[in-house]
A and B are shown apart, each in its own frame.
Chain A
Amino acid sequence: MAVVTISSEPWAFGEELAARVAGRLGFSLIDEKSLAPIRDEVNPGESTRCSTSGSNPPENGAPGSQSGNCVALSGELVLKLAKEEDLVIIGGGAQGLFHNRPGTLHVRLVAARGFRIRQAQILEGISAREAGKRIRSIEEQRAGYLRSIYGMRAADPNLYDLTLRMDRLSVEQALKLLVTAVDEMELRRVPRSLIVGGLLPESPEKRGKGRFANATESEFARFLEFYHIPYEYEPRTFPLESDGSGKVTEAFTPDFYLPEQDLYIELTTMKQNLVTRKNRKVRKLRRLYPDVHILIFYQRDYYSLLAKYGLLAGRSEPSHERISR
């Protein structure tokens, strides 16, 4: 099956891009969070032991050590998964695990250090000094991990098919380039134009209860799925305000993103005073991120959509009676 590995410098949008690529391609996303329950299925309690024995990535995952066993288990699991389904894998030394494997695209995300420090400041609410320290520490951990497990150097350009500068590209642009690369390498066996249902994420029910914040969002997701419109749920949070220390004090997370339309949708089926507050946030988002397209579905818009399909309880009987006579 096809595999896309994404290796990202800290705070270079790796997690966000990986999630979006997986959603766009209809591949499964593999990250530390998604591996934990699979580990437990194979070996109950393993994920707890792995997460407590080392950070992500493990600092000293040498074979034979406890964290080394976790690494071996994760590697086996991921290799097994790659035989069964198409994967997007973020981090975890996947460029080493799948090195030279046919049907694999290796991607490296980089960005200037100053840019990443600013991102870390905004997202974590920390000082520039602290951000720099954390970045250095994570980089050292990751480099050590790749070196000790696979004997590779993370910065070796020969490990990657595609390197993207995330301080020069938007996530949307990077996403398009990456999807184009997948298609050019013919990793997807069925051309995109012929796929109708295959691009869909799993239905909300399959993803487990509680994925959506309320019934309205769940119903709207069903609309999208009914018409085979790929979507991502709350994929991105936009910082709107930050205080003097750089800590984010106001942010906005639109409910849905439709990658094919490059459109965010916010459902607003609440009371007017809350709508006013949300409108203000959306105005601010449009001002700060002019390239982002967002559509607000107000209560009446949403109910009109339901009414169109006759799903609102209305007084339809009288007119029907008149016609039946």
Chain B
Amino acid sequence: MKIGRPDNESTAHDVAAGIAEVLISREAIQKRVAEMGAEVSAACKGSLPLLVGVLKGCALFMSDLVRHIGIPMEMDFICLTGYGGRPSGAARITKDLDSAIEGRDVLLVEGIIDTGMTAGYLLRNLEARQPRSIRICALLDKPARRIVDIPIAFRGFQIPDRFVVGYGLDFRQLYRNLPYLGVLSDDVTGLNNHGQGLVLK
């Protein structure tokens, strides 16, 4: 894991405003994703796995991962509404799978597992469709605030309790195009304001 100033990433300086430090470099990500592709290939050999990417955080990870999977496989995507702080409302699927998964070996591909609430919801939803198996593949595992226990079969990196963006992960839809994983400053997230009181949008 490489820690350093984002200025080291010369191609990303225009979108790197607010990044306090690089948590995982582009090179480290690429190396680990290649390893994960090999791990998935070995584990799923003999079956035709369906990789289900959880949009939008998985986008870059998924596209790199599949290029390192050396066995036949299929891809699909699913998208869930994000929590918006409204007084009422419930998670719902805004983009469902195009294919049925009954009897299939499913690999749910996530950019990050944090509290586990999103992955837990999706697992429940997908399990009800009776796949033969369902496993989780996550680039990042942030266990510090885990509420819903999620069995992660393929894990890229376990990271500390930092606010991470880049490589598909966003803050208010920004920073997804960073080629590395960076820690966002508390100024940007609003975490440095909490002593003065919480202000909801």
A322 to B193, CA, bound (A): 23
> Is there an interface contact between B188 and A315, defined as CB atoms closer than 8 Å?
yes
Nearest CB of chain A from residue B201's CB, rounded to whole Å? 6
> Is there an interface contact between B87 and A222, defined as CB atoms closer than 8 Å?
yes
> Is there an interface contact between B124 and A196, defined as CB atoms closer than 8 Å?
yes
Given contacts A205-B87, A301-B145, A312-B190, contact A306 B200 (CB under 8 A): yes
The 6 A-B residue pairs with the shortest CB-CB distance, nearest first, are A312-B190, A314-B190, A313-B199, A319-B17, A307-B189, A227-B117
Q: Which residues of A contact B163 (CB under 8 A)?
A: 304, 307-308
> Is there an interface contact between B193 and A309, defined as CB atoms closer than 8 Å?
no
A209 to B189, CA, bound (A): 31
> Is there an interface contact between B188 and A261, defined as CB atoms closer than 8 Å?
no
> Is there an interface contact between B90 and A258, defined as CB atoms closer than 8 Å?
no
Nearest CB of chain B from residue A310's CB, rounded to whole Å? 4
Q: A313: which of B85, B125, B201 is its contact (CB, 8 Å)?
A: B201
A271 to B64, CA, bound (A): 45
Residues 207-230 (chain A) with a chain B CB within 8 angstroms: 219, 222-229
Q: A309: which of B85, B121, B161 is its contact (CB, 8 Å)?
A: B85
A61 to B12, CA, bound (A): 80
A261 to B123, CA, bound (A): 14
Interface membership of B174, Cβ < 8 A: yes
A193 to B127, CA, bound (A): 8
Q: Which residues of A contact B172 (CB under 8 A)?
A: 310, 316, 320
A50 to B127, CA, bound (A): 49
> Is there an interface contact between A261 and B199, defined as CB atoms closer than 8 Å?
no
Total CB contacts across the A-B interface at under 8 A: 131
List residues of chain A with CB under 8 Å of any chain B CB.
193-194, 196-197, 203, 205, 219, 222-229, 258, 261, 263, 265, 295, 297, 299-301, 303-316, 318-320, 322-323
Q: Which residues of B contact A323 (CB under 8 A)?
A: 14-15, 174
Given contacts A258-B147, A303-B194, contact A227 B15 (CB under 8 A): no
Q: List 27 A-B contacts (CB under 8 A).
A: A193-B127, A196-B121, A225-B90, A226-B89, A227-B120, A228-B121, A229-B121, A229-B148, A261-B149, A297-B145, A304-B161, A304-B191, A308-B163, A310-B171, A311-B201, A312-B194, A312-B200, A313-B200, A314-B190, A315-B190, A316-B18, A318-B17, A319-B174, A320-B172, A322-B14, A322-B15, A323-B14
Q: A314: which of B82, B90, B148, B187 is its contact (CB, 8 Å)?
A: B187
A224 to B17, CA, bound (A): 33
Please, which residue of chain B has its CB at the minimum distance from the CB of A258? B147
Q: Which residues of B contact A229 (CB under 8 A)?
A: 117, 120-121, 147-148
Please, which residue of chain A has its CB at the minimum distance from the CB of B127? A193
Q: Which residues of A contact B145 (CB under 8 A)?
A: 295, 297, 301, 304-305
Please, which residue of chain A has its CB at the minimum distance from the CB of B169? A308
Given contacts A305-B145, A306-B200, contact A313 B89 (CB under 8 A): no
Interface residues on B, range: 35 or more
A263 to B148, CA, bound (A): 9
Q: Which residues of B contact A319 (CB under 8 A)?
A: 15, 17-18, 174-175, 188
> Is there an interface contact between A303 and B191, defined as CB atoms closer than 8 Å?
yes
Nearest CB of chain A from residue B99's CB, rounded to whole Å? 20
Interface membership of B118, Cβ < 8 A: yes
A228 to B148, CA, bound (A): 12
Interface membership of B3, Cβ < 8 A: no
Nearest CB of chain B from residue A2's CB, rounded to whole Å? 21
Please, which residue of chain B has its CB at the minimum distance from the CB of A319? B17
Q: A312: which of B18, B82, B198 is its contact (CB, 8 Å)?
A: B198
> Is there an interface contact between B191 and A300, defined as CB atoms closer than 8 Å?
yes
> Is there an interface contact between A197 and B90, defined as CB atoms closer than 8 Å?
yes
> Is there an interface contact between A261 and B198, defined as CB atoms closer than 8 Å?
no
A320 to B171, CA, bound (A): 11
Please, which residue of chain A has its CB at the minimum distance from the CB of B193? A313
Interface membership of B91, Cβ < 8 A: yes
> Is there an interface contact between B83 and A226, defined as CB atoms closer than 8 Å?
yes
A320 to B91, CA, bound (A): 27
Q: B128: which of A194, A203, A222, A224 is its contact (CB, 8 Å)?
A: A194
A312 to B195, CA, bound (A): 12
A205 to B115, CA, bound (A): 24
> Is there an interface contact between B187 and A223, defined as CB atoms closer than 8 Å?
no
Q: Which residues of B contact A301 (CB under 8 A)?
A: 144-145, 161
1/0 per residue, CB under 8 A from A, across B52-92: the answer is 00000000000000000000000000000011111111110
Nearest CB of chain A from residue B54's CB, rounded to whole Å? 14
